[in-house]
Structure 1
Amino acid sequence: MEKLFKTRFTTAVIVLIPACIGINYLGKLFAAALKLPLWLDCIGTCIGAVLGGPIIGGICGAANNLIYGLTTGDNITLIYALTSFGIGVGVGIMGRLGFMKSVGGAILTAVVGGLAAVLISTPLNIIFWGGTTGNVWGDAAFAATQAANMPVWLGSLIDEVLVDVPDKLVTLLVAYFILKGLPRKLTALYDVNAEIEHLD
């Protein structure tokens, strides 16, 4: 268990965090501008989580939400820093367990990330927004469930599943192919089990 959460705040990791936050920020802006049925705001979180581990993934996710919310005035995003933290931790654990070494493993990691998002976000949706997610497509599904007199919690759950699971599938596949394309010399910088060489 200790190895899963082992973290080294090396120069490479410290540089990785803002780079991943930038990727998240651009992804969210892109999805919002095109009104996509996806968030695309945690590609960087997932890359950071796989390279740096669960703690780095959680930091990248939460920091992205806080920065995006404060710079755009999007207060909804601030609350979901908890969700992004959970996604980063979940994906980081799956990465440490070796699941991001194949497409099948990336898909399974997407399921874990999606479930983490759904479990954390659904109660927040109900508490703060009456069950909606703020995503146009997901909220259309929520409205349909309410028109059918379904319980708010179930409508909110369906809303979240319809948005988050496909989003995490796309996100983790994009992250997987980016990571596969990185040179070994670069990814080796994030190996927490590697020996640190000292120049004397």
Structure 2
Amino acid sequence: MEKQSMWSLRFSTSALVLIPTAVGINYIGKLLAGVLKLPLWLDSIGTILASMLAGPIIGALAGAVNNIIYGLTADPISFVYAITSVAIGLAAGILFNKGWVSSWSKAVMAGLIIGLVATVVSTPLNIQFWGGQTGNVWGDALFATVLAKTDSVWLASFLDEVVVDVPDKLLVTLISFGIFKGLPKNITHLYDNSSKVETLD
């Protein structure tokens, strides 16, 4: 059977079922980070894992659904960042598809790239809705320092986001890669592009 494109809207049943599973993993990670007051978010593990298993579109859908559910049940701010979660899912899926997440060293590089993608997408949102801050104590302290020295909201906001997003996405990418490597072959085979697919229409 011909290998399907990673941008195909034809998904196996196992790929569709993966979305709520990924959302659950994201939700638990974010709640854990909040309860422990960690300087990270840990809300993208499921998104990145879904992207590795089933491709960028499933990962993007998982990320967006996660933000919507979290926004409805815990923190309305999450709605705004659904677009960031979509970008994370797309970036992770593309990088994995291109072989960027085939070893631990490559996973580190992929995590850094995903963190920068998230930063670029989130910075304008931070400026639009929150005056440039992230709500993270460490990041916002840097924001205040940079703003005082440069008077540049964009630079201060970008650096505020970088010091939180890059370490966070690096960690969650490595966690996701570790989970992926630990999955039995019969599980990962369920998400092969050559598997029987069903159309979303």
TM-score between the two structures when normalised by the length of structure 1: 0.92
| Equivalent residue letter for 1:24 | N
Match of 1:41 among 32, 40, 43: 43
Q: Distance in 1 between matches of 2:62 and 2:113?
A: 18
| Equivalent residue letter for 2:110 | T
1:155 Cα deviation (Å)? 0.3
Q: Distance in 2 between matches of 1:171 and 1:54?
A: 16
1:145 Cα deviation (Å)? 1.5
Alignment of 1:1-200 (within 5 A): 3-72=5-74, 74-194=75-195
1:150 Cα deviation (Å)? 3.4
Secondary structure of the 2:126 match is helix
Secondary structure of the 1:36 match is coil
**Structure 2 segments unaligned to the other structure (5+ residues):** none
Secondary structure of the 1:126 match is helix
| Equivalent residue letter for 2:46 | G
Q: Distance in 2 between matches of 1:97 and 1:193?
A: 17
Distance 1:13 1:194, change over 3 A: closer
2:134–2:161 Cα contact (<8 Å) kept: yes
Q: Distance in 2 between matches of 1:150 and 1:173?
A: 36
Superimposed CA distance per residue, residues 94-137 of structure 1 (whole angstroms, 9 cap, x where no aligned partner): 11112222011111211221111011100000011000011122
| Equivalent residue letter for 1:126 | I
Q: For the aligned residues, what is the CA RMSD?
A: 1.4
Bigger relative contact order, structure 1 or 2 (CA pairs below 8 A, ≥6 apart): 2
1:7–1:192 Cα contact (<8 Å) kept: no
Identity of aligned residues (%): 53
Q: Which structure 1 residue ranges, 4+ long, deviate > 3 Å from structure 2?
A: none
1:99–1:105 Cα contact (<8 Å) kept: yes
Q: Distance in 1 between matches of 2:149 and 2:191?
A: 50
Moved more, 135-144 or 89-98: 135-144
Superimposed CA distance per residue, residues 59-91 of structure 1 (whole angstroms, 9 cap, x where no aligned partner): 01111011001111x121110000000000000
| Equivalent residue letter for 1:41 | D
Moved more, 128-137 or 84-93: 128-137
**Structure 1 segments unaligned to the other structure (5+ residues):** none
How many pairs align?
194
